[in-house]
Chains A and B, each alone.
Chain A
Amino acid sequence: MSATAQTTTEARTMNGAEIVLQALKDNGVEVIFGYPGGAVLPLYDALFQQNAIRHILVRHEQAAVHAAEGYARSTGKVGVVLVTSGPGATNAVTGLVDALMDSIPVICLTGQVPTHLIGNDAFQEADTTGITRPATKHNYLVKDINKLAGVVHEAFYVAKSGRPGPVVIDLPKDILIGKGPYTEAPQTEHRSYRPVTEPDPAQIQAAVQLLKRAKRPIVYAGGGVINAGPEASRLLTEFVRMAGMPCTNTLMGLGAYPSSDPQFLGMLGMHGTYEANLAMHGCDVMLNIGARFDDRVTGRLNAFSPASKKIHADIDPSSINKNVKVDVAVVGDAARVLAALLEAWKADDAVQDRAAIAEWWRQIDAWRGTDCLQYRQEGSIIKPQHAVRRLYEITRELGRETFITTEVGQHQMWAAQYFGFEKPNRWMTSGGLGTMGYGLPAAMGVQIGHPDALVIDIAGEASILMNIQEMGTLAQYRLPVKVFILNNEYMGMVRQWQELLHGSRYSESYSASLPDFVKLAESFHAHGIRVTHADQLDAGIREMLAHPGPVIADIAVAKDENCFPMIPSGAAHNEMILAAGQQGGVAGVTDEGKVLV
């Protein structure tokens, strides 16, 4: 660990809490999301006595972490959380795992009982480093105040470098109160942790060799491109356009490539488009950049893109050859990899087989002709797809900078399918862990990072109740977040699986005893809107967007709508179910498939 005390010329002495705040400031922190308690009172006292760092008081520690995630994903900065010992720390665990799965840089400061009481089952003691070891990229328990500043600096480096992730710093109360030296961030390399960002030129050459000779190429780009910063998305777009290839994004990668571009095939995977999945299935060369061959994307592994040569560029070597064996492995930062690919491509004399690629596009256009996302909005019952589509179109008309977060379920997939993103960092969703209750606090964090932007949580009526207490935070800080509920009165995603896989036995998936969301909004000092007829939808959306403060818009949508296309668990890309009435592959779900989540 490089977190040893540095001998600087002017080591200032402060108490532990002040050291922590100074280190946060020196790492560019402007805001932290937190909730107080006995073990962190010294930190709250130090916060009270300064103005550089703003504290946002959430209503539940899980929400603090999601807010930090939303802040981090939308700004590119590290999100910071402060919670107390015991229940404060355990409440934060879901958020930490969420950030771990989605590679979001977050630092979570947890209070701890004083060092001499650790292990004694003291009041509000929990083995926080033990509990969060598999929930974080790394964690620290600070037992020596001389190391405190160094640990905080190191935590920032670990959280944001390489594959980003959450880091916990557990802070015993005596360390926060005791006095020690403040040291600046070390200029030296870390002793053991040195992620590779610069790609190996030989691997880049090998990749270009394959890509230039491809007859049916595809670029499959994921969240890693977003992690690498906006420049990576720009380079991705430049590369794809130059090479004339089709491009698809994962759920986490939406916005990495402009959705309105004709070369964009939409999202791939379980609820991806027909054309994206069939192109993945039929390609001869695949470039995966910053995506991790997740099971939601590959479907049945032994049937995944059987005829292709695969190139995988990822900053984390453990992502490569984990699920899918690849032919060319490139370890590096997505932006660096794309810059190197562009350069090597231009330097390479080989010419592409334009005729073959034109033929490939004809095939893709035929698949596109299926129009797999079509739906018919008829009568007064609002189709959820239509609600999202109109929300998208109306926000585009307004031209305001728009950020979307989601909860988890069908509404999340419809948001991914029907809301288009032209730029990275505008789309915040819980992909890897799939945490219901993510969207509202994440939107809060986004709004803190972008006070003037339009921030909308596309929600389900079940998910929204999982962190509904955060309406209080919106009110307190006057955060004008819009909660757009697609209310189908079901845990729709669960209901859909029950319909398709469990003989329509809707076991415990009905959203009974729902609150009156309009009154609920009002009781939290927000504006409430309810829309029940298709012809009121646009007016409802416009009213929501025009309102200056926080809004809950409760949109009553069709109760029995399913989310299609769908590749059932355990099926292959070419075994996709299209919407009722459309031609698609076989819908055979094997028993083996049923075991899968």
Chain B
Amino acid sequence: MPDASDPTFRNATIAVLVENEAGILARVVGLFSGRGYNIESLTVAPVDAERRLSRITIVTSGTDMVIEQIKAQLDRLVPVHKVSDLTVEGPHLAREMMLIKVVGRGEQRMEALRLADAFRARVVDATTGSFVFEMTGAGDKLDAFIELMRPIGLAEVSRTGVVAIARGARSLQS
């Protein structure tokens, strides 16, 4: 398989609309591991209870040929409705949510709060020795905040992985 030195190597954010049924996630994850595709992040949740649909967002990377394969392989899974490579099909929004725990006292607490404010992170839990911040944004913004918290007293991070949607009127669910 061609590697990262190939000039067409790129990241791709792929949205997959699937039947909300047992085993669907195993099918998708098994496809990626079985065929040696990268998964940088994967999120899944039901999005339409009435039509029993879930949406999976996968951030992956590969050459153009590999990404075309990934789309075709996903599309041939029986419970898959639609596959879209948001990266190439027009502008899109990508967001991630994170809960981040910072422990510390005194000046460290003040510094953490000041930075959280600058990054628009919300305090969702506080004790005398800790904060949990909630933050939403693009992945690199979350990365930057984590790096800032590290010297202050970073204790734990939980991230959702990327969810994404196309800008404008286009819809995968129509």
Contacts and interface: CB of A to CB of B under 8 A. Distances in A.
Of the four ranges (under 10, 10 to 19, 20 to 34, 35 or more), the interface on chain A belongs to 20 to 34
B73 A137 contact: no
Contacts of B151: none
B79 interface: yes
B69 A321 contact: yes
Interface string A266-282: 00000000000000000
Interface string B75-113: 111111100000000000000000000000000000000
Interface string A170-199: 000000000000000000000111000000
Interface residues of B, number: 21
B78 A133 contact: no
Contact of A138 (B26, B72, B73, B78): B78
Contact of A137 (B30, B68, B78): B78
**Residue of B30, B68, B78 with most partner-chain A CB within 10 A:** B78
Contacts of A191: 19, 81
Interface string B6-35: 000000000000110111001100100010
B8 to A, nearest CB: 11
A141 B22 CA distance: 9
Contact of B78 (A192, A316, A318): A192
Given A134-B34, A141-B22, A192 B65 contact: no
B19 A1 contact: yes
A162 B75 CA distance: 13
B75 A317 contact: yes
A134 to B, nearest CB: 5
B26 A130 contact: yes
A192 B76 contact: no
Interface in B28-84: 30, 34, 65, 68-69, 72-73, 75-81
Contacts of B30: 133-134
Contacts, number: 47
A6 B149 CA distance: 57
B21 A318 contact: no
A192 B80 contact: yes
A241 interface: no
A354 interface: no
B76 A318 contact: yes
B80 A133 contact: no
Nearest to A325: B65
A594 interface: no
B69 A318 contact: yes
Nearest to B18: A192
A158 interface: yes
**Residue of A137, A322, A325 with most partner-chain B CB within 10 A:** A322
Interface string A248-292: 000000000000000000000000000000000000000000000
A129 interface: yes
B69 A322 contact: yes
A134 B81 CA distance: 19
Contacts of A193: 78-79
A326 to B, nearest CB: 11
Contacts of B76: 162-163, 316-318
A446 B79 CA distance: 33
A322 B76 CA distance: 14
Contacts of B22: 141
A193 B23 CA distance: 16
B69 A1 contact: no
A192 B82 CA distance: 8
Contacts of A1: 19, 21, 79
A322 B1 CA distance: 10
Given A134-B34, A318-B72, A321-B65, A129 B23 contact: yes
Contacts of B26: 130, 133
A162 B26 CA distance: 23
Interface string A315-330: 0111011100100000
**Residue of B30, B75, B76 with most partner-chain A CB within 10 A:** B76
**Residue of A1, A162, A163 with most partner-chain B CB within 10 A:** A1
Contact of B73 (A141, A163, A318): A318
Nearest to A194: B81
B23 A192 contact: no
A134 B23 CA distance: 12
Nearest to A130: B26
A133 B30 CA distance: 8
A190 to B, nearest CB: 8
Interface in A122-150: 129-130, 133-134, 137-138, 141
A99 B101 CA distance: 51
A317 to B, nearest CB: 5
A133 B72 contact: no
Nearest to B72: A318
Nearest to A162: B76
Given A134-B30, A318-B75, 7 more contacts: A133-B30, A138-B77, A138-B78, A141-B23, A192-B78, A192-B79, A318-B73
| Among all A-B residue pairs, the 4 with the closest Cβ atoms | A318-B72, A138-B78, A192-B81, A193-B78
Interface of A: 1, 129-130, 133-134, 137-138, 141, 158, 162-163, 191-193, 316-318, 320-322, 325
12 contacts: A1-B21, A133-B26, A133-B30, A138-B78, A141-B22, A158-B78, A163-B76, A193-B78, A316-B72, A317-B76, A320-B72, A321-B69
